């Protein structure tokens, strides 16, 4: 384990950037049509319960990451198995988000650049960040947090000022009832992005203010949940539920509607910045968690030594993962949710918590 | 540092030079053809004809410096034919020496024949292309092809596409019989069952052949002129009718698009004697259910001044003003009711009343949705309530007429 320290504030900012990550630019939970903001808020509420599970596990074992205490809870053999699965899961999700990022940039801004080049450039940056360690990443996070918020506020104000928002587009609320909303909550918004906070179980031991971990995590989940819900509601109020559900990037379409006095227009660059910053932090956190998890599991003292092989693996995996964008998205929504998110974000942590609670009561 | 590290450092720097410059697919300004307007038509054998109005950058800049007119022509027109828009656009490269670049396309013109056949499939390419903006204005070329409408030189705004867009925006703002509709709004209307497409048309008047030449802008009265024409009413993506004059303005009232306009009311036996200038207006549309049948209420609020009186009229008297306000309210109400009836005859819900019902009564809407345009909309009961306020009377109160 690295000997570094994060403050609760850094954890909060890192979690915010992580949660916004790609979620703010992709059509998150749009199957709920105009009720998507409700689906996000419900996902947020349930996500903060899930976070409580991760936090309780941390309070039992405050000095070691998830991959270590899984071994303490269910024994070395099964614990190592679980740890390995999680390491692979983090690296796989890092590859998925990297692919997302590359595809998004490719569709919109760099149609003639090969995917591999974009992904490789991004991955090199991320590998460098991971090499420097979590403390550097967290400090960069503090900088970019302010920057991203400035852009977000600017974007919001501009969209409101331009007057392209039509609140009526959000009606009828609950057209198909709560069923459609909860279907989206339990198949999408709970896991991405809120359940993905599981990756922070690898980072909690670095935080020097242990008492503040819970509140920092919760605040991050709530703030990002509200922001995401607001953003999706804004997208719908500007371009309509139908266009949002057909769009590859609803936020981009919304930003393109900004036209002020024939000179302040084409603000797509705001969208690009949000995409790159969010993508960078999301992939970095996953990748870093995967790397230190592997280092922890295989007892390697310097995690830096794993960065090149694992980075290369993530990069190649991100290319090999799917033949086209549709396949990639479909896999993400169906297979990954059922076979990875649900067991790894919900089932295993809850089981581990139950066992840990029983064990620690007897101890 | 050792020599080995220095070498490594240099290699990294060199890699950065290639990566950071970001010139993977660079396009120099001189390699791009800026398409300012796109015209769409169909040939007899069902192929698309795409017309590009391409800016001639040198001549635009030169024209403003020299005071206009003396240089070359500010835009050039190209056409290309293909089975679909992407094919036509790419085939255009046979005639244009530069890359056809759509990021500055602000206008899409649809030929009347194509509009009648249906515009359902032309917007997909526009929506899908990352260069193209859905904020581009869309108009129908009235009684001609899009190509003909785009092949005319205009005197005041050198670029014909700008002339069309600016005219449309200005007339929508101060007169209110035409609509500046964006591609995004059209796509939304095409995707909703409770709303149909409506957009403005433009017409070319005069000598088409002279209109193409520099001569057109060297005459005090151009040989060929562009002007905004009637509103085109679509149903399921097909052009089915035209709405003009006061009916068109009535449509804009309902759509909450009126910002300023002028209307006249009768006063003491004299027809159209007092002119009211609307300076601000706001419309709200609300749906209600009355024993299972939908009722739409349109609330209009207008604020404005007196612009002209053709009869002796004491505007210092508030009771007279109140009387005038009442007359104005009736006039607007009449205009709007007439427009609604006119549109109901076309059986196409361009007002989006269906969407208003959908939003307030989603369950009831499910039953009405399928036969909305045929059964419900033509017989829909629409209540119009107008509140008009006369705020000021200009620089005079009483008229010099006695």
| B148-182 pLDDT, tens digit each | 999 999 888 888 999 999 999 999 999 989 999 99
Size of interface A-B (CB pairs under 8 A): 46
Residue A205, both tokens: 């031991």
CB contact under 8 A, B19 and A107: no
B236 backbone dihedrals φ, ψ, rounded to 5°:
45, 40
Q: Strands B137-141 and B198-206: what pairing?
A: parallel
More reliable by pLDDT, B130 or B385 = B385
For chain A, percent of residues with pLDDT exceeding 90 = 34
- What is d(CA B164, CA B157) in angstroms, rounded to the nearest whole number? 9
Q: Which residue has the tokens 């005859």?
A: B345
Report the gap between the CA of A151 and the closest CA in chain B (Å): 22
Nearest CA in chain A to B182: A257
Q: What is the mean pLDDT of residues B72-84?
A: 89
pLDDT in tens, B256-301: 999 999 999 988 888 888 999 999 999 999 999 888 889 999 999 9
- What is d(CA B212, CA A93) in angstroms, rounded to the nearest whole number? 59
Rg of chain B in Å (alpha carbons): 26
Asked if pLDDT for residue B234 goes beyond 90, the answer is yes
Asked if pLDDT for residue A150 goes beyond 70, the answer is yes
Q: What is the mean pLDDT of residues B2-24?
A: 81
Query: B222 with B162: CB under 8 angstroms?
Result: no
| Paired strand residues for B241 | B233
Closest by CA position to B111, among listed B21, B43, B213: B43
- What is d(CA A132, CA A152) in angstroms, rounded to the nearest whole number? 28
Q: Which residue has the tokens 């709007």?
A: B336
Nearest CA in chain B to A104: B130
Residue B396: which residues within 8 A CB-CB, separation 6 or more? Answer: none
- What is d(CA B193, CA B317) in angstroms, rounded to the nearest whole number? 50
* A99 within a domain of the structure (yes/no): yes
Nearest CA in chain A to B359: A172
Q: Name the residue facing A171 among B130, B188, B359 (closest C-beta).
A: B359
Per the prediction, chain A carries an average pLDDT of: 88
Residue A356: which residues within 8 A CB-CB, separation 6 or more? Answer: A56, A57, A60, A61, A69, A73
Closest by CA position to A244, among listed A236, A252, A255: A236
B224 backbone dihedrals φ, ψ, rounded to 5°:
-130, 135
**Structure confidence at residue B16 (pLDDT):** 77
Peptide bond into A172 cis (omega under 30): yes
**Structure confidence at residue B69 (pLDDT):** 46
Split into its structural domains, chain A has a count of 1
Q: Which residues of chain B does A180 touch, with a Cβ-Cβ cutoff of 8 Å?
A: none
Q: What is the mean pLDDT of residues A233-260?
A: 87
Helical H segments across B81-151, by residue range: 85-91, 112-117, 123-128, 146-150
Q: What is the mean pLDDT of residues A237-255?
A: 87
**Structure confidence at residue B388 (pLDDT):** 93
Does the structure's ipTM exceed the value 0.90? no
Nearest CA in chain A to B103: A266
Q: What is the mean pLDDT of residues B361-366?
A: 88
CB contact under 8 A, A242 and B24: no
pLDDT in tens, A27-65: 888 888 888 899 999 999 999 999 999 998 888 888 888
* A3 within a domain of the structure (yes/no): no
Query: B390 with B306: CB under 8 angstroms?
Result: yes
- What is d(CA A49, CA A66) in angstroms, rounded to the nearest whole number? 18
**Structure confidence at residue B315 (pLDDT):** 83
Q: Which residue has the tokens 């967290």?
A: A138
pLDDT in tens, B305-322: 998 888 888 888 888 889
- Kindly report which listed range (A104-113, B141-150, B257-266) carries the lowest average pLDDT score: A104-113
Asked if pLDDT for residue A314 goes beyond 50, the answer is yes
Q: Which residues of chain B does A168 touch, with a Cβ-Cβ cutoff of 8 Å?
A: 356, 359
Nearest CA in chain A to B193: A242
Q: Which domain holds residue A221?
A: 8-362
* A310 within a domain of the structure (yes/no): yes
CB contact under 8 A, A111 and B130: yes
3-state secondary structure (DSSP) of residue B278: strand
Best mutation target among B19, B23, B133 (most A Cβ atoms within 10 Å) is: B133
Give domain B245-402's CATH architecture.
2-Layer Sandwich (3.30)
Q: Which residues of chain A does B362 touch, with a Cβ-Cβ cutoff of 8 Å?
A: 172, 175
How far is C-alpha B51 from the chain's CA centre?
A: 19
**Structure confidence at residue B223 (pLDDT):** 92
Count CA atoms closer than 13 A to A11's CA, side-chain side. 28
Asked if pLDDT for residue B250 goes beyond 60, the answer is yes
Q: What is the mean pLDDT of residues A120-138?
A: 91
CB contact under 8 A, A242 and B192: yes
* DSSP per position, A264-289: EE--HHHHHHHHHHHHHHHHHHHHHH
Query: B308 with B270: CB under 8 angstroms?
Result: no
CB contact under 8 A, B133 and A243: no
| Paired strand residues for B75 | B55
Nearest CA in chain A to B185: A239
B376 backbone dihedrals φ, ψ, rounded to 5°:
-90, -50
**Structure confidence at residue B71 (pLDDT):** 61
Residue B250: which residues within 8 A CB-CB, separation 6 or more? Answer: B335, B336, B337, B338, B339, B340, B342
Distances (CA, A) of A235 to A160, A177, A256, A329, B114: 12, 21, 11, 20, 32
Which helix (H) or strand (E) segment holds residue A16: the answer is helix A8-20
CB contact under 8 A, A111 and B187: no
Residue A50: which residues within 8 A CB-CB, separation 6 or more? Answer: A190, A194, A195, A197, A198, A345, A346, A349
A74 backbone dihedrals φ, ψ, rounded to 5°:
-110, 15
Dihedral of the alpha carbons of A155, A158, A164, A165, in degrees to the nearest 10: 60
- What is d(CA B150, CA B78) in angstroms, rounded to the nearest whole number? 10
Q: Which residues of chain A does B191 touch, with a Cβ-Cβ cutoff of 8 Å?
A: 240, 242-243
Q: Which residues of chain A does B289 touch, with a Cβ-Cβ cutoff of 8 Å?
A: none
Residue A256: which residues within 8 A CB-CB, separation 6 or more? Answer: A266, A267, A268, B133, B134, B135
Best mutation target among B132, B170, B183, B191 (most A Cβ atoms within 10 Å) is: B191
CB contact under 8 A, A117 and B133: no
Residue A184, both tokens: 């989206």
Report the gap between the CA of A295 and the closest CA in chain B (Å): 27
Size (chain A), residues:
363
- What is d(CA A262, CA B135) in angstroms, rounded to the nearest whole number? 12
Where does the pLDDT of residue B369 fall: very low under 50, low under 70, confident under 90, or very high at 90 and above? confident
* A1 within a domain of the structure (yes/no): no
Q: Which residues of chain B does A265 touch, with a Cβ-Cβ cutoff of 8 Å?
A: 135
* A143 within a domain of the structure (yes/no): yes
Size (chain B), residues:
402
**Structure confidence at residue A4 (pLDDT):** 78
Where does the pLDDT of residue A72 fall: very low under 50, low under 70, confident under 90, or very high at 90 and above? confident
Q: What percent helix, strand, coil does chain B show, rounded to 5?
A: 40, 30, 30
* A158 within a domain of the structure (yes/no): yes
Is the C-alpha dihedral spanning B210, B215, B221, B227 positive or negative?
positive
CATH number of the structural domain spanning residue A168:
1.10.4160.10
- What is d(CA A195, CA A49) in angstroms, rounded to the nearest whole number? 10
pLDDT in tens, B211-228: 888 888 888 999 999 999
Which helix (H) or strand (E) segment holds residue A95: the answer is helix A76-108
Q: Which residues of chain B does A175 touch, with a Cβ-Cβ cutoff of 8 Å?
A: 362
Numbered ranges of CATH 3.30.300.210 in chain B:
245-402
Q: Which residues of B touch A (CB under 8 A)?
A: 19, 24-25, 103, 130, 133-135, 184, 187-188, 191-192, 356, 358-362
How far is C-alpha A278 from the chain's CA centre?
A: 9
Q: Strands B270-290 and B261-267: what pairing?
A: antiparallel
Per the prediction, chain B carries an average pLDDT of: 88
Asked if pLDDT for residue B209 goes beyond 60, the answer is yes
Q: Which residues of chain A does B24 touch, with a Cβ-Cβ cutoff of 8 Å?
A: 110, 112-113, 117
Where does the pLDDT of residue B61 fall: very low under 50, low under 70, confident under 90, or very high at 90 and above? low
Q: What is the mean pLDDT of residues B5-32?
A: 81
Best mutation target among A257, A261, A276 (most B Cβ atoms within 10 Å) is: A257
Asked if pLDDT for residue A125 goes beyond 60, the answer is yes
Best mutation target among B15, B27, B188 (most A Cβ atoms within 10 Å) is: B188
């Amino acid at each position: 384990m690295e000997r570094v320290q994060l403050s609760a504030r850094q954890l909060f900012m890192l979690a915010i950037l992580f949660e916004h990550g790609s979620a703010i630019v992709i059509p998150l939970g749009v199957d709920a049509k105009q009720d998507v903001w409700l689906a996000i808020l419900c996902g947020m509420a349930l996500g903060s319960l899930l976070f409580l599970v991760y936090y309780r596990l941390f309070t039992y074992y405050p000095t070691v990451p998830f991959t270590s205490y899984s071994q303490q809870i269910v024994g070395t053999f099964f614990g190592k198995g679980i740890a390995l699965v999680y390491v692979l899961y983090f690296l796989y999700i890092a590859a998925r988000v990297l692919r997302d990022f590359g595809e998004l940039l490719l569709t919109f801004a760099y149609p003639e650049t090969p995917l591999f080049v974009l992904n490789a450039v991004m991955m090199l940056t991320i590998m460098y960040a991971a090499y420097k360690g979590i403390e550097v990443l967290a400090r960069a996070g503090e900088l970019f947090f302010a920057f991203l918020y400035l852009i977000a506020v600017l974007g919001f104000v501009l969209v409101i000022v331009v007057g392209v928002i039509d609140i009526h587009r959000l009606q009828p609320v609950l057209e198909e009832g709560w069923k459609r909303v909860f279907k989206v909550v339990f198949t999408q918004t709970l896991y991405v992005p809120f359940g993905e906070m599981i990756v922070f179980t690898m980072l909690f031991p670095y935080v020097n203010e242990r008492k503040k971990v819970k509140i920092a995590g919760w605040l991050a989940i709530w703030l990002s949940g509200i922001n995401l819900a607001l953003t999706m509601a804004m997208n719908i109020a500007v371009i309509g539920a139908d266009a949002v559900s057909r769009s590859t990037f609803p936020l981009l379409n919304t930003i393109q509607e900004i036209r002020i006095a024939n000179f302040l227009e084409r603000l797509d660059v705001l969208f690009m910045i949000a995409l790159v910053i969010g993508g960078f932090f999301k992939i970095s956190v996953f990748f870093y968690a995967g790397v230190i998890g592997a280092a922890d599991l295989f007892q390697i003292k310097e995690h830096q030594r794993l960065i090149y092989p694992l980075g290369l693996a993530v990069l190649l995996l991100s290319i090999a993962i799917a033949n086209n964008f549709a396949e990639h998205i479909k896999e993400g929504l169906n297979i990954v949710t059922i076979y990875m998110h649900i067991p790894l974000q919900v089932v295993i942590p809850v089981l581990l918590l139950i066992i840990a609670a029983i064990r620690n009561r007897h101890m | 540092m050792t020599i080995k590290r220095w070498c490594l450092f240099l290699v990294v720097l060199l890699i950065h030079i290639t990566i950071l410059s970001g010139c993977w697919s660079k396009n120099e300004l001189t390699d791009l053809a800026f398409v300012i307007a796109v015209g769409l038509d169909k040939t007899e054998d069902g192929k698309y004809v795409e017309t590009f109005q391409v800016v001639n950058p040198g001549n635009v800049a030169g024209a403003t410096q020299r005071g206009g007119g003396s240089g070359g022509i500010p835009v050039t027109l190209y056409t290309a034919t293909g089975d679909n828009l992407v094919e036509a656009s790419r085939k255009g490269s046979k005639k244009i020496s530069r890359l056809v670049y759509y990021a500055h396309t602000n206008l899409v013109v649809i030929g009347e024949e194509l509009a009648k056949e249906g515009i359902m499939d032309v917007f997909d390419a526009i929506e899908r292309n990352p260069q193209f903006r859905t904020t581009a204005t869309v108009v129908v070329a009235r009684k001609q092809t899009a190509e003909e409408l785009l092949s005319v030189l205009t005197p005041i705004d050198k670029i014909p596409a700008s002339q069309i867009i600016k005219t449309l925006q200005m007339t929508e703002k101060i007169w209110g019989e035409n609509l500046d509709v964006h591609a995004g709004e059209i796509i939304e209307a095409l995707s909703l069952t409770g709303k149909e497409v409506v957009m403005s048309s433009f017409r070319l008047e005069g000598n088409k052949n002279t209109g193409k030449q520099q001569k057109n802008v060297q005459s005090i009265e151009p040989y060929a002129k562009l002007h905004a024409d009637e509103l085109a009413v679509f149903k399921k993506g097909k052009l089915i009718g035209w709405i003009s004059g006061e009916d068109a303005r009535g449509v804009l009232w309902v759509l909450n698009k009126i910002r300023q306009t002028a209307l006249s009311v009768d006063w003491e036996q004299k027809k159209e004697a007092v002119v009211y200038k609307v300076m601000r207006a706001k419309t709200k549309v609300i749906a209600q259910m009355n024993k299972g049948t939908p009722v739409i209420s349109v609330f209009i609020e207008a604020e404005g001044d007196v612009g002209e009186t053709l009869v002796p009229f004491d505007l210092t008297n508030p009771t007279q003003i109140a009387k005038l306000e009442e007359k104005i309210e009736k006039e607007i109400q009449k205009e709007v009711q007439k427009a609604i009836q006119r549109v109901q005859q076309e059986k196409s819900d361009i007002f989006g009343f269906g969407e208003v019902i959908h939003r307030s009564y989603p369950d009831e809407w499910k039953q009405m949705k399928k036969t909305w345009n045929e059964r419900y909309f033509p017989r829909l009961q629409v209540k119009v309530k107008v509140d008009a306020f006369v705020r000021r009377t200009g620089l005079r109160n009483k008229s010099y007429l006695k």
